[in-house]
Structure 1
Amino acid sequence: MSAAEPSGLPAATVADLYRAACLAELDALKPGNVHGYAPGHRMVVADFVTSADVSAPPLSEPGARVGRRVRGGVEATFAAVGQNTNLGILLLCAPLARAAEASGPLAGALSAVRADFDPSDARDVFAAIRRANPGGLGRAARHDVSDEVAVPPLLAAMAEAAPRDRIARAYTDGFRDLFEIGLPALAEARTRGLAPPWTTTAVHLAYLTGVPDSHIARKHGPERAEAVRAEAGERLAGIDLATAPVERLLDYDRVLKEAGLNPGTSADFTVATLFLDALLSARGETS
């Protein structure tokens, strides 16, 4: 007898899993980011807890298009905390949330979501980006999000930004980093016997040391982002998360924050990895 085909998840489940992923990311010690061990960059954990709570309903709205989910989440967040705490998270998680409603394998549903973007998705996503105004956004020669009249197709705009932004690239390559960096790192951490929050730290470090962080690149340039990636690999080489190396990680956390370096994209991908893993598990799929 063949296994039952995965079925779609109800909105309440998607919302609960999203909140849980956001909170789990905050519990983990992630050098350079805001977390339960230390604030940073003029933000505190409470801002992110509130953001997760208020953005969950629009993110999980039944039948809503991706753009509506992103825009609704950003607007709810600004109404509650008055700043951008989760644009990257929403951009990564909204397609996953929409795909989770569908039956069949989640990867296939995610491909269908990407193929189904329409002009309203672009308008809403660009409006959300303008509202959030992420640091170092700048302007693009083509498909600039600040142009409220000539709105390009969403995938075309993401393809334009992909070489300099890994979240944009996720829209063009099927969210490959989640499947090829995040989920394998999470599985390896569990195989090693790590428990949360150290499994989450392992995911974050996989992104931090594996690829240059787009948030750092936007604010400080691609060369600095690559230097941080290399430095993180050297400083954290051989670290054993099973020993709960809080002080060693906090030392590097202070170094990054004192330099004004926030690997925010690594944190966004960490949340999305936890969310994707939880969706797969809830649907009875293996990650």
Structure 2
Amino acid sequence: MVREQYTTITEGTHIERPENQAVYKIGIYGWRKRCLYLFVLLLLVILLVNLALTIWILRVMWFSPVGMGHLHVMADGLRLEGESEFLFPLYVKEIRSRADSSLLLQSTQNVTMNARNTEGEVTGRLKVGPQMVEVQSQQFQIHSKDGKPLFTVDEEKVMIGTDKLRVTGPEGALFEHSVETPLVRPDPLQDLRLESPTRSLSMDAPKGVHIQAPAGKIEALTQMDIVLQSSDGTLMLDADTVFLPELALGSQGPAGSSQGLYEVCACPNGKLYMSVAGVGTTCHEHSHLCL
């Protein structure tokens, strides 16, 4: 146990203390104290600078309770006012403009929109470049307001769902292969031309080809042959007058015998020629024209 010793001092008693008694000061003094104050002052300056920068960033970026600047956070998504520039890819589910304005996508090079599947592969792409608009997809469709397909393109066919297809180019329409259509007609008061400059022109139909010009004439011009063929039927020329001015003509016969009358003769190969009319047929007299 520790033994405690106590000294009782009565009045009038004087006790001498040692002269070399050591005195210890408690606290931070000297250069340590100055460094501590300097460090605290530096922390205070940094705190004020950070606070000022934070307030400056909030004012510059236009932070508000509803969003940041022109970007507003809404219950159904984000709303962006004015013009915005995106430096990296933008992934969104839907982009819509305001009801009173249009949507503009602008780029100095091109605008590309990709559709990807769950594996990240591109399944559809729309690329608008400075010289061409490119669509990469299995099928491309354009619909009307009521949902009617107006234009459809896939790997096998092109379908136009409008009531009328109008080509306004001065050279008309150029088709490298066959064309199937129930009706071909020009604009009112305009001529219709079907032309093949270097090859033949063929019109086929299982139940017939109907060519009609109610207010004009029909011309067929060719360098070689014009073939009118009916596999099961009759070729009929129904008109008040039929002119065949370039038919081969047999000999005139005796003067005054035909009185200016001729008959049209047909060769076994279908060639036509004229022969002087007589009491009976004279076609056999000029059958050499069939050779």
Instruction: State the TM-score, normalizing by the size of structure 2.
Output: 0.16
Which structure would you say has the larger RCO, counting Cα contacts within 8 Å and 6 or more residues apart?
1
Rg (Cα) greater in structure: 2
Structure with the largest fraction of helix: 1
Instruction: State the TM-score, normalizing by the size of structure 1.
Output: 0.16
